[in-house]
Amino acid sequence: MTDTRKPTVLRAADQAWEDSPRHRGVRWAPLVTSAEGRTMCAQVEEIAPGGEIHAHTHEVMEVIYQLEGRAHYDTPEGTCVLGPGDRILMPAGTQHVARNTGATSARALCVYSPARQDR
């Protein structure tokens, strides 16, 4: 476990990407695990062209900040498209779907608070 009492660096070359076992064309890379962040955790998610994160909810709040590409986010309030620099706040318990209908990968920073215990 990383000692969070001092600054730590994670180099891009050392970042471990994991393919999602549940979602088509999706992979993620943990940036801050729940053990490190304790009160929050964060990951980068990448959706390949044609990929989708199926309908799901989280027991915690999620902030999604779009880094690259465009992604469609379906919520009970409707659909919005995020491009680089846009963000969406998902309150705890909000069902949502993320889709990439573009020709390039869509990459987003996802921050959860409090920390998800499965990350």
Report, in angstroms and rounded to the nearest whole number, the Rg of the chain calculated over CA atoms.
14
pLDDT of 68 above 60: yes
With pLDDT > 90 as the criterion, what percentage of the chain qualifies? 80
Provide the 3-class DSSP secondary structure of residue 92: coil
Query: To the nearest 5 percent, what fractions of the chain are helix, strand and coil?
Result: 5, 50, 45
Q: Residue 36: its pLDDT value, please?
A: 85
Mean pLDDT over 44-70 rounds to 97
What is the average pLDDT value for the chain, to the nearest integer? 92
Task: Give the domain ranges of the chain.
Answer: 16-109
The pTM assigned to this predicted structure is 0.90
User: For position 34, what pLDDT does the model report?
Assistant: 86
* pLDDT tops 70 at residue 35: yes
Superfamily the domain 16-109 falls into: Jelly Rolls (2.60.120.10)
> Average pLDDT of 72-80?
96
Q: Which residue has the tokens 């409090």?
A: 114
Residue percentage of the chain with pLDDT more than 70: 95
CA distance 73 to 81: 6
Please say if the pLDDT value at position 1 is more than 80: no
Q: Do residues 114 and 63 touch, judged by C-beta distance below 8 A? A: no
* Contact (CB, 8 A) for 12 and 43: no
